[in-house]
Structure formats: C-alpha cells, structure tokens
C-alpha cells in the first residue's frame, strides 16, 4: 500500500506543474516555520541604528527597517507565528464544524434546525468585523486571535460537512453499516465522515490562506500580535508609512511573502483532493 | 476484413445506396490517465430504411460509445480515429463523423434522434414537458404559437399519454418513469426522424412498462417508416423487437444477423454463450451457464487480435491469433467475425 | 460452518410476518401506505421470491424486516422472538442482528468507498462478534473470500478498483460473514451484466445449499426468481396479491396482475403479445380500503372491484390470490 501511495503522490505532483509549485512552496514555508530562527541570517529583534532603512543588498537581501533589523530574518521567523495561528484556527474550526455539521446532517430534525440557525446567526455578521470585535473584547493575545479566526470560519465547515453528510446519509453503505451492528455514532465517525474528507481538504487549504490573511489583517490594524514580535501583518503596517518616502522594501517583502503563502494554500487544495481520494488512484 | 466490406462485395451495389446509415471501419479511442483505450475497432454495420436493429453487448462492449459517436456527442476524451458513417438524408449522403457541428445540429432532432437511458435525468427538471417538446419543434419546423402547442399535444397523445392537454403543463417530477420515457420518445419523434437511436430505453423501467414502451416505439417506427437502433444488454428484449441484431464484444462487432437466424443458429461462440447465460422462462437452472473470464484490458499495448480469444473454449493458438476475419456464412445476411465459427 | 448441521426438519416458520403495515406521513392527515397489511412466513431453508414493480413497497417491506425501518403496526416474529417491538436504534445490540442480513441492489453504492474489501468483509465480525485478533480476522476474511469466489489478492482493494461482479461478491461475503439464518437479497443481480449475473446466481444457489440459509429474494426479474426460489410472493401497491409455489404461479397465474407481469417477460421464444396494463397505477397515498388496488388498470375490472377489496383466498393448495375473478 505504501509504495502505491508514494507512486500516486508522485503521479499527482508530476502531472500538474501548478500543484508541484504549490507543494514546493508549502515545503519552503514549513521549513521556515520549523527552522526559521536557526537559519535566519540575523537576530530578528536586534536593532542597529547604524544600519537603519538600508535598501536590499548582498548583506541584507530584503533590506533593513527603521530600527535596522534585517527584514529577511524577520520574514522568516514570522512564518512560524503566522502559519501557527492559521493552522490552529483552521484545526479548531474544522473539528468543531465537522462535529456540528455531521450531527446536523445525520440526525436532521431538531438538531439540524438548532445548529443551522446558530450558524446563520453567525453568518449575519460581517466576519472580519466580528473577528475584530472578538479580539477587542477578549484581549490582545495570540490565543484570542486563534479563537476569533476559528469562530468566523465555523459556518463554512459546518455547512459543507452538513450538506456532504446529507447526500450520503441514505447511501447503501450506511444501511450496510447499520446492518453490521454499528451504532449511530460509529456510523457517523467511521463510515460517513471519512467520505467527506476529500471535499474538506480543498476547503481546509483554501481556508488556510484565508486564515493567514485574517490573522495578518488583525495585526495590521493593531489588534492581536503586538510589536516588536515579527509578524507579516505588523511588518506591512509598519512599512506602509515608509512607502511614501521611498523605502518600499519595508512593506513589499513581507506583503509579497504573505501573498505567496495565501496563493500557495489556494493552489494546494486541488492537489490535496487528488491525493486523499482513493477513487483517484488507479 | 470487416462486416461491411464483405457485405458490399457480395451484394449488389444498389442495396448499398439504399442503406439509410452505413458505418464503416469505425475506430474510436479514449485518452485516459493510464493510456489510450481502443474502445471501438473496425466497427461496421448498416441500417436499411424502416428497419429495427439491435446492438447487443455487455457493459464495456462499446455499444453506447457507438451511439454517442453517431450522434456526435462523444465525450471530450474520445476521438474518432478512423472510419465513416454515411447517413442518407433527403438530398445527399453525409458523413456524420466529418460533418461540421453546425450542420449536424440541423440533422439532430430532425432526421436523427436519440432516446437516453434515464429519462429523469435527460429531461429538464424545471421546464414543463410540453415546452420541452415545442423546443424541438421550434428548432426544426416553421410552426409557432397555438399550432406549436397543438402539435405538441398531438405528440403526447401519439405516445399514448392519458390526458395530453393536462400533461402538457406537467413537470417531469410529477410523472412516473414510464411516462417520462414516453415524453422522451415524443421529443425524439416530434420531427419524424428517419433514424431513432434508443440507448437502453427501458433499463430502469418495470417489465410491464417496458413492454408498453417497446411496443410504442415499434408501432411508431412502423407508422412513420422510421429505422431504429435499439441498444440493449438484454438479448431477449432485442429478440422480441428487432429485425436484425448486431452483437458487440469489447469494441468489436462479432456477429450480425437477422434475429431468427441469430437465435436459431448463433455462429460466434460469444453469441452462443450470451444466449446460454440469459435466464429464460423455461430454462432450467443447470442450463444457465456463466461466461468465464473478463473483457481484455483495452488499455494494453498488445490486445489479442480476437478480443474474445481469452474467454473462448474454441481457441486454437496459431489460427485465432490472426485478426478475426469476417466471413459471410451460408445463411445470407449472417456475418460472423470468427476463425472457428460454430456450425 | 455451524449452520450446516441444523438443516430444516421442523416446519416452524423462521420468519413470521403478520398484518404488517408501514406508512409514511406526508402531511396533515395524509400518509403513504407503502406496506399495507402484509402477512407471510418463511420456513427454515426456504427460498421465497418477492416480485413487484418499482414503488410497490417491496424495498420498504425488506427494510422493515431487516430492521432498518420501524414498523407502523403488525408483528415480525423471528425464531420465537418478536422483533417488531425492538426499536431500530436498539437493534444493533440485539442477538438477532446477525441472524438477518441484507445483500444490496447496487454493489457500488453499498460499499464504503474508503473501506478495502477486507475492511468491508470483516466489519460485521468486528462489530457483532468482537474479541478477534488480527490473524483470526484475516483467516475469516480469507475463508469468506474463498466461499464467494473472490480471489484473496483482491481483499486489499478499494471498491473502485473492483469490477461489478467482484463488488457483488464482496457485498455477499459481508452479508454471510456471521452465518445469518435469513438472507434478504434486494435485486442482487440487477446492476450486473448477463454473464456475471449467471455466475452470481449459481453462487447464491451454492451458498444456500452449503450454509442452509433461508432466502427472501426480491426482484423485478421473474426469470431470475423462478430459478432460485421455491415460493413466490407478488406484491402490488403495498399488498401481497398472489402467493404460491413458483412453478404453479408461473404456469397458472390467478391474479390478472401476475398474468400481465408474466406475459411481459421478454423471451427468445415466440409468445403471445403481452397483456397490456393500461393507465397509471393508483396512488398509494390514503388509498381507499374498499377498492381493489389494480382497479383502473385491470382488464377484468368490474363494479364489484370498486366496492369490495378482494382478500387472499386459497385457490389451490398453498396457492393464494386476491382477486374476485381468480378463475
């Protein structure tokens, strides 16, 4: 089985250059997230007034900021925080959303009505404003950014899982599972939910990009992560004031990396679906 | 080499020109992720005006691919690699495989119609069935307004739908499967086509409904002097309603003969086995004999020349490893593609 | 296989269905009568065929019997136990769960796309017997694969990697994994090709002999039912309208519907034109209890059929028909 999985992975990646590019980029981002601090050329927090606002050069590839900190190092180190927030938020909303969606779709009736109405209520708010409100109310911590991002993503997961479960609820294999002595909970968890996963992978991946953007957006407007912590949103916000005076690199590089990360996750979705769906293996 | 060539070499040329449709040497390939599938190879057969021909075979035999190719609605992955399909219109014979899409659109629905396997998915669920009939009429006739509606109601009545006036305003979901299939037939026959291709028209229907739908197609075909191709996996059904039967196996035409001749004395081992495997009202259980083996892998680079050879108990090494030759049998009009046909 | 030893000798029914009703509410005061006062029984080792058009309620009936649906009224007795009072959600814990199993119509839809053939076949053993280690499970799966003629190397495959016939074998293997006493087969061959259908029919006949199961064989194909069954039940719009030994019903049908059904079977042999059933079936929603369900389509229909619902009468030994004109 493992050799066929490997062959299949190789096939999916080699057959589609875009997927290949997305996977490569994802690998780079993961490496930065894990080893960012070790491989960064400079200390991301060490300021050096003598080297402030230097344009990109051989010594500082992305230039330096107003305090003389190396932007490349800061961008690399920030990867862990930004990806971390996104992964945690997506994982949280995926878990809770899947549970709610599976219950709503499988049991129908009252549980469906209650869950669906709650989700509708959540969706009635402008989501980013809701996230701002939540962080402002709960306090400026990384954990609260994660909670806020998770809550505003909850409707997506709940709705997608609910509809996917709904179409499979009457399938023959569910009846068969009941005949072979599975309890209702077991049917939901072991038989129905795994079949929803391939579809969910695409959503998770798209949502990751969105969650990164959301976390960076909150930091950009001053909520959430506080300076001097290296974080893409803060770096863009701080750099934005220097664009007018000609120091474009302060905002451009963190912004470009942020964009690449979002782009990468959006492209990854299709590739992941092909990987995880056994029907795509031949 | 092929059925058609051998037929034309022995029969007079005037019968060839009288053919409504003649398919010659049709090759169709599908590109898939794991290689090219040779779905049809050297498929040849002919239909005379007013004749009902059954194309019979198991799934994967290429019978539906043949129909889709003729209608020009083949899947995008499919490609006609070779062959001709000459269709006799009022004026000229056109090659359905080479005609531009614009003129094919003129033919489809008017001279050449198709009924699909599942009437519920083939009908537009949010459009009244009467409107779906007038859509076809509007495309191909000069009728308009009330005349259009009257003609549609007339069509509904001709397919024996009770209360045609009320049913005109019905939506497909309000009708049973049998009624939906009759609507499909009404749409297909609205412009009195010369050829109807029916792809498993009764597969989802009950036996009693199947009988009424098939009798309806047969009666209308006789009335309108229409030829029909009945594509089915049900040999017994084909035997009841077809004048001639073409048996397909793995993309080859293995046998083609008038119905009575085919069932009285099948010449191809596959046809004989297919007949033996079909449950019948007076057949004992012990006489129900399964066909061993599977279809050959049509993706393989070396498909045996006779695609039945691996399942055949008459297989003889050197002889059967040549491409199967089509010979005319002693019985006229009975063609078989086999090196060792049954006597 | 243990059940080989206790072959049927007594005539105590294995399954006894009496006066069973299943209705689905579809609005205020209206309900769809899918199964309407149905009674029959199945003796140990017997094969009973259930035929009827789509929508006649046969799918509902077998889902009630296999305890996938709750009953509205009536009783189901299986092996001296009344099952109809056990709620569907509780039934997985019942000791009779493994006694009644179902083979599904569509071999693709009924296999979990993310389970290998091995997972599917061992699922009932793991859930309903438990306490097996991996080696034991593998031995059982191999034994079952042999029994249904599935090559063992295919056990590691997912459904989409199997052919239609192989999927059907996996579905059968799952159903017989725990030696059920009653196997309900829901059109097990209707999605298969003729050549494969013949193989599966032979397999089912062989399994019945080896494992001594009773079959309730549901089909719309009378030719198939005739080959495999001892007795036949004909259902029309929620009611059983004729029942009897299979050859007798085939050769001397007493109900006009059965007659039409039999005459409509396509055949190679020349035969008289099928008896047409004109018009549309009556609605199963709040049906009038005094009008024969076939009235309106029946070539014999008379005023009497509109006033009194015909009941099942024994027209010959063991041969019952519900028609005023059964002669």
State the smallest CA–CA distance between residue B152 and chain C in angstroms. 20
Cβ–Cβ contact A282 with B under 8 A: yes
- Give, in order, the Cα–Cα distances in Å from A213 to each of A22, A151, A266: 17, 15, 12
Q: Hey, is B42 helix, strand or coil? A: strand
User: B162–C279: do the CB atoms touch at under 8 Å?
Assistant: yes
Extract long-range pairs of A34-37: CB within 8 Å, 24+ residues apart: A34/A80, A36/A76, A36/A77, A36/A78, A36/A79, A36/A80, A37/A77, A37/A80
| CA dist., res. B199 & res. B71, Å (int) | 11
Cβ–Cβ contact B34 with A under 8 A: yes
User: B215–C274: do the CB atoms touch at under 8 Å?
Assistant: yes
B84 backbone φψ class: left, alpha, beta (φ>0; ψ -120 to 50): beta
| CA dist., res. B109 & res. B191, Å (int) | 7
Residues B329 and B214 in one domain: yes
Position A282 pLDDT exceeds 50: no
Residue whose pair of structure tokens reads 């293995």 in the numeric block? B254
Q: Which residues on chain A are in Cβ contact (under 8 Å) with B30? A: none
CA atoms within 13 A on the CB side of C2: 5
Six-digit token pair at B314? 């008459």
DSSP B200-264: STTTTS-HHHHHHHHHHHHHHHHHHT-EEEEEES-HHHHHHH-SEEEEEETTEEEEEEEHHHHHH
Structural domains counted in chain C: 1
Q: Which residues on chain A are in Cβ contact (under 8 Å) with B33? A: 15, 282
Nearest to C265 among B59, B207, B263 (CB): B207
Mutation site for B-interface testing, chosen from C193, C257, C268, C274 by largest number of B Cβ within 10 Å: C268
Contact at 8 Å (CB) between C310 and C324?
yes
pLDDT at C5: 40
DSSP A19-33: HHHHHHHHHHHHHHH
What is the CATH number for B249? 3.40.50.300
Q: Which residues of A216-234 are buried (b: 16+ CB within 10 A; e: fewer)?
A: bbbbbeebbbeeebbbbbb
Which chain C residue shows the shortest CA-CA distance from A173? C110
| Last residue within a domain, chosen from B171, B190, B209 | B190
State the smallest CA–CA distance between residue C18 and chain B in angstroms. 28
Q: Hey, is A99 helix, strand or coil? A: helix
pLDDT at C242: 93
| CA dist., res. C152 & res. C142, Å (int) | 6
| CA dist., res. B327 & res. B255, Å (int) | 10
H or E segment to which residue A144 belongs = helix A142-168
β partners of residue B252: B249
Q: Which domain holds residue B120?
A: 112-190
Q: Which residues on chain B are in Cβ contact (under 8 Å) with C223? A: 279-281, 283
User: B208–C163: do the CB atoms touch at under 8 Å?
Assistant: no
Pairing of strands B195-199, C31-42: unpaired
DSSP chain A: -HHHHHHHHHHHHHH-HHHHHHHHHHHHHHHHHHHHHHH-SS-TT---GGGTTPPS-SSSTT-B-TT--BHHHHHHHHHHHHHHHHHHHHHHHHHHHHHHHHHHHHH-HHHHHHHHHHHHHHHTS-HHHHHHHHHHHH-S-HHHHHHHHHHHHHHHHHHHHHHHHHHHTT-HHHHHHHHTT--HHHIIIIIIHHHHHHHHHHHHHHHHHHHHHHHHHHHHTT-SS-TTS--HHHHHHHHHHHHTTT-THHHHHHHHHHHHHHHHHHHHHHHHHHHH-GGG--
Cβ–Cβ contact C201 with B under 8 A: yes
User: B239–C223: do the CB atoms touch at under 8 Å?
Assistant: no
User: Given a contact as 3+ CB pairs under 8 Å, which chains touch C?
Assistant: A, B
Contact at 8 Å (CB) between C17 and C58?
no
Q: What are phi and psi of B37, to 5 degrees?
A: -100, 125
DSSP B252-266: EEEEEEEHHHHHHS-
Q: Hey, is B339 helix, strand or coil? A: coil
pLDDT at A116: 93
Cβ–Cβ contact B170 with C under 8 A: no
User: A183–C110: do the CB atoms touch at under 8 Å?
Assistant: no
Nearest to A180 among C106, C114, C174 (CB): C174
Q: Which pLDDT band, with edges at 50, 70 and 90, does A277 fall under?
A: low
Any domain includes B343: no
Any domain includes C57: yes
Q: What is the mean pLDDT of residues A149-172?
A: 91
β partners of residue C239: C236
Q: Which pLDDT band, with edges at 50, 70 and 90, does C27 fall under?
A: confident
Q: What is the mean pLDDT of residues A232-253?
A: 84
H or E segment to which residue B195 belongs = strand B195-199
User: C160–A182: do the CB atoms touch at under 8 Å?
Assistant: no
Residues B101 and B245 in one domain: yes
pLDDT at A15: 65
Position A271 pLDDT exceeds 90: no
Angle (CA) C78 C82 C86, round 5°: 110
Contact at 8 Å (CB) between C217 and C48?
yes
Nearest to C109 among A172, A179, A181 (CB): A172
What is the CATH number for C225? 3.40.50.300
Q: What are phi and psi of C319, to 5 degrees?
A: -115, 115
Of B111, B130, B114, residue with least CA distance to B122: B114
Residues B74 and B158 in one domain: no
C-beta atoms surrounding B308 within 10 Å:
25
Which chain C residue shows the shortest CA-CA distance from B176? C280
pLDDT at A2: 53
Cβ–Cβ contact A245 with C under 8 A: no
| CA dist., res. A216 & res. A229, Å (int) | 13
Q: In chain C, positions 138-197, which contact chain B (CB-CB < 8 Å)? A: 163-164, 193-197
Q: Which residues on chain A are in Cβ contact (under 8 Å) with C175? A: 179
Six-digit token pair at B310? 């691996």
Q: Which residues on chain B are in Cβ contact (under 8 Å) with A282? A: 33-34
Q: Which domain holds residue C41?
A: 2-229
Angle (CA) A131 A134 A135, round 5°: 85
Residue whose pair of structure tokens reads 């307004």 in the numeric block? B145
User: Given a contact as 3+ CB pairs under 8 Å, which chains touch B?
Assistant: A, C
Q: Which residues on chain B are in Cβ contact (under 8 Å) with C262? A: 281
Cβ–Cβ contact A188 with C under 8 A: no
pLDDT at A3: 58
| CA dist., res. B280 & res. B285, Å (int) | 10
pLDDT at B4: 43
State the smallest CA–CA distance between residue C86 and chain B in angstroms. 34
Any domain includes B222: yes
Q: Hey, is C319 helix, strand or coil? A: strand
State the smallest CA–CA distance between residue B105 and chain C in angstroms. 34
Position C327 pLDDT exceeds 70: no
Any domain includes C279: no
> In terms of CATH architecture, what is A2-42+59-280?
Orthogonal Bundle (1.10)
Six-digit token pair at A111? 């549980």
Nearest to C68 among A171, A175, A181 (CB): A175
| CA dist., res. B66 & res. B60, Å (int) | 11
C-beta atoms surrounding B35 within 10 Å:
13
Residues B105 and B203 in one domain: yes
Q: What are phi and psi of B328, to 5 degrees?
A: -80, 130
Which chain A residue shows the shortest CA-CA distance from B33? A282
Structural domains counted in chain B: 2
Position A175 pLDDT exceeds 50: yes
Nearest to C127 among A182, A194, A279 (CB): A182
Q: Which residues on chain B are in Cβ contact (under 8 Å) with C269? A: 280-282
Q: In chain A, positions 157-176, which contact chain C (CB-CB < 8 Å)? A: 171-173, 175-176
- ipTM metric: 0.84
User: C92–A178: do the CB atoms touch at under 8 Å?
Assistant: yes
State the smallest CA–CA distance between residue B274 and chain C in angstroms. 7
User: B288–C201: do the CB atoms touch at under 8 Å?
Assistant: yes
Position A279 pLDDT exceeds 80: no
| CA dist., res. C131 & res. C288, Å (int) | 53
Give me the count of residues in chain C.
327
Residue whose pair of structure tokens reads 């010959």 in the numeric block? C316
pLDDT by residue for chain B (343 residues), tens only, comes to 344 444 433 333 344 457 899 998 899 988 877 778 888 988 989 999 889 999 998 888 888 899 889 888 887 788 888 888 989 887 788 888 888 888 888 888 888 888 888 877 888 888 888 899 898 888 888 888 888 899 899 888 888 787 888 888 888 888 877 788 888 888 888 888 889 999 988 877 778 888 888 888 888 888 888 999 999 988 888 998 999 999 999 889 999 999 988 988 899 999 999 999 988 888 888 888 888 877 888 877 778 888 888 888 888 888 888 776 666 676 788 888 888 888 7
Q: Which residues on chain A are in Cβ contact (under 8 Å) with C111? A: 172-173, 176
| Last residue within a domain, chosen from B190, B223, B246 | B190
Cβ–Cβ contact B273 with C under 8 A: yes
Residues B118 and B250 in one domain: no
pLDDT at B5: 41
pLDDT at B31: 83
Number of A:C CB contacts under 8 A?
A: 71
| CA dist., res. B178 & res. B182, Å (int) | 6
Provide CB contacts within 8 A for A1, sequence distance 6+: C156
Nearest to B280 among C228, C268, C276 (CB): C268
Cβ–Cβ contact C202 with B under 8 A: yes
User: A172–C104: do the CB atoms touch at under 8 Å?
Assistant: yes
| CA dist., res. B309 & res. C213, Å (int) | 38
Q: What is the mean pLDDT of residues C12-26?
A: 90
Of C225, C233, C247, residue with least CA distance to C312: C233
Six-digit token pair at C118? 């091995």
Task: Write out the residues of chain C at the interface with chain A, using a CB-CB cutoff of 8 A.
Answer: 63, 66, 68, 89, 92-93, 97-98, 101-102, 104-106, 109-115, 123-124, 127-128, 156, 158, 160-161, 171, 174-175
Among B176-180, B320-324, C166-170, C207-211, the least confident range: B320-324
Residues B260 and B124 in one domain: no
Residues B44 and B28 in one domain: yes
Residues B212 and B316 in one domain: yes
| Last residue within a domain, chosen from B190, B210, B228 | B190
User: A175–C106: do the CB atoms touch at under 8 Å?
Assistant: no
Q: Hey, is C46 helix, strand or coil? A: coil
Provide CB contacts within 8 A for C251, sequence distance 6+: none
Cβ–Cβ contact B299 with A under 8 A: no
Residue whose pair of structure tokens reads 């409107």 in the numeric block? B131
Residues B66 and B136 in one domain: no
A224 backbone φψ class: left, alpha, beta (φ>0; ψ -120 to 50): left
Tell me the pLDDT tens digit for each residue of C181-195: 999 999 888 888 888
Residues B212 and B80 in one domain: yes
Of B150, B168, B188, B338, residue with least CA distance to B249: B338
């Amino acid at each position: 089985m493992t050799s066929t999985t490997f062959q299949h992975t190789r096939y999916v990646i080699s057959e589609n250059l875009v997927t290949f590019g997305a996977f490569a980029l994802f690998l780079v981002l993961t490496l930065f997230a894990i080893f960012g601090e070790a491989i960064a050329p400079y200390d991301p927090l060490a300021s050096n007034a003598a080297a402030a606002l230097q344009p990109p050069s051989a010594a500082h590839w992305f230039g330096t900021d107003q305090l003389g900190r190396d932007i490349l190092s800061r961008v690399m180190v920030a990867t862990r925080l930004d990806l971390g927030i996104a992964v945690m938020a997506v994982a949280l909303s995926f878990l809770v959303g899947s549970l709610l969606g599976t219950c709503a779709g499988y049991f129908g009736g009252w549980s469906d009505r209650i869950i669906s109405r709650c989700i509708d209520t959540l969706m009635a708010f402008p989501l980013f404003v809701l996230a701002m409100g939540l962080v402002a109310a709960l306090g400026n911590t990384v954990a609260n950014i994660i909670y806020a991002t998770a809550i505003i993503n909850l409707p997506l997961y709940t709705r997608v899982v609910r509809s996917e479960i709904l179409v499979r609820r009457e399938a023959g294999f569910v009846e068969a599972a009941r005949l072979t002595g599975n309890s209702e909970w077991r049917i939901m968890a072991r038989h129905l939910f795994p079949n929803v996963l391939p579809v969910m992978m695409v959503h998770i991946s798209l949502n990751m990009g969105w969650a990164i953007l959301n976390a960076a957006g909150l930091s950009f407007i001053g909520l959430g992560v506080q300076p001097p912590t290296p974080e893409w949103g803060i770096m863009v916000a701080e750099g934005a004031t220097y664009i007018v005076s000609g120091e474009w690199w302060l905002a451009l590089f963190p912004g470009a990396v942020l964009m690449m990360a979002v782009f990468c996750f959006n492209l990854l979705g299709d590739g992941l679906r092909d990987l995880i769906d056994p029907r795509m293996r031949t | 080499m092929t059925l058609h060539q051998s037929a034309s070499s022995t029969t007079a040329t005037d019968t060839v020109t009288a053919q409504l449709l003649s398919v010659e040497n049709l090759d169709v390939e599908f590109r898939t992720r794991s290689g090219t599938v040779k779905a049809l190879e050297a498929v040849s057969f002919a239909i005379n005006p007013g004749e009902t021909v059954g194309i019979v075979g198991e799934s994967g035999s290429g019978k539906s691919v043949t129909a889709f190719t003729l209608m020009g609605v083949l899947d995008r992955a499919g490609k006609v690699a070779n062959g001709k399909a000459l269709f006799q219109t009022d004026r000229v014979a056109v090659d359905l495989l080479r005609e531009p899409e614009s003129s094919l659109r003129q033919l489809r629905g008017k001279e050449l119609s198709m009924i699909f396997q599942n009437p519920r998915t083939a009908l537009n669920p949010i459009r009244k069935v009467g409107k779906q009939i007038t859509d076809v009429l509007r495309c191909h006739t000069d009728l308009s307004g009330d005349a259009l509606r009257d003609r549609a109601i007339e069509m509904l009545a001709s397919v024996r739908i009770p209360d045609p006036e009320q049913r005109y305003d019905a939506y497909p979901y309000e009708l049973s499967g049998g009624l939906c299939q009759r609507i499909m037939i009404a749409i297909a026959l609205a412009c009195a086509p010369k050829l109807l291709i029916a792809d498993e028209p009764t597969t989802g229907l009950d036996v009693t409904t199947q009988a009424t739908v098939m009798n309806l197609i047969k009666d209308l075909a006789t009335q309108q002097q229409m030829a029909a191709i009945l594509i089915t996996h049900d040999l017994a059904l084909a035997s009841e309603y077809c004048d001639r039967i073409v048996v397909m196996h793995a993309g080859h035409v293995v046998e083609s003969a008038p119905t009575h001749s085919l069932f009285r004395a099948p010449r191809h081992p596959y046809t004989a086995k297919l007949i033996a495997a079909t449950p019948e009202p007076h057949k004992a259980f012990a006489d129900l004999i399964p066909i061993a083996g599977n279809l050959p892998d049509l993706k393989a680079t070396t498909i045996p020349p006779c695609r039945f050879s691996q399942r055949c108990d008459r297989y003889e090494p050197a002889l059967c490893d040549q491409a199967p030759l089509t010979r005319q049998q002693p019985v006229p009009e009975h063609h078989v593609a086999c090196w060792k046909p049954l006597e | 296989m243990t059940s080989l030893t206790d072959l049927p000798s007594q005539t105590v029914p294995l399954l006894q269905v009496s006066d069973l009703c299943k209705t689905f509410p579809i609005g205020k005061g209206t309900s769809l009568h899918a199964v309407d006062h149905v009674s029959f029984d199945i003796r140990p080792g017997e094969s009973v065929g259930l035929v009827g058009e789509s929508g006649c309620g046969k799918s509902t009936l077998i889902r009630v019997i296999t305890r996938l649906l709750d009953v509205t009224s009536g009783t189901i007795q299986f092996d001296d136990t009344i099952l109809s009072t056990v709620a569907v959600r509780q039934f997985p814990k019942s000791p009779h769960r493994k006694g009644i199993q179902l083979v599904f119509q569509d071999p693709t839809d009924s296999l979990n796309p993310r389970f290998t053939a091995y997972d599917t076949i061992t699922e009932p053993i793991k859930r309903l017997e438990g306490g097996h280690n991996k080696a034991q499970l593998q031995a059982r799966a191999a034994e079952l694969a042999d029994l249904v003629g599935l090559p063992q190397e295919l056990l590691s495959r997912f459904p989409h990697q199997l052919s239609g016939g192989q999927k059907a074998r996996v579905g059968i293997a799952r159903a017989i994994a725990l030696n059920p006493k009653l196997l309900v087969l829901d059109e097990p061959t209707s999605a298969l090709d003729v050549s494969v259908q013949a193989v599966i029919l032979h397999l089912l006949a062989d399994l019945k002999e080896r494992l001594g199961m009773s079959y309730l064989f549901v089909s719309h194909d009378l030719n198939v039912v005739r080959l495999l069954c001892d007795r036949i039940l004909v259902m029309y719009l929620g009611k059983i309208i004729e029942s009897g030994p299979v050859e007798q019903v085939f050769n001397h049908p007493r109900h006009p519907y059965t007659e039409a059904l039999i005459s409509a079977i396509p055949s190679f042999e020349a035969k008289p034109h099928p008896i047409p059933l004109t018009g549309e079936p009556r609605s199963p929603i709040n049906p009038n209890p005094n009008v024969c369900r076939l009235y309106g389509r029946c070539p014999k229909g008379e005023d009497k059929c509109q006033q009194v619902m015909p009941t099942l009468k024994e027209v010959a030994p063991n041969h019952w028909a519900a028609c005023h004109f059964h002669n």
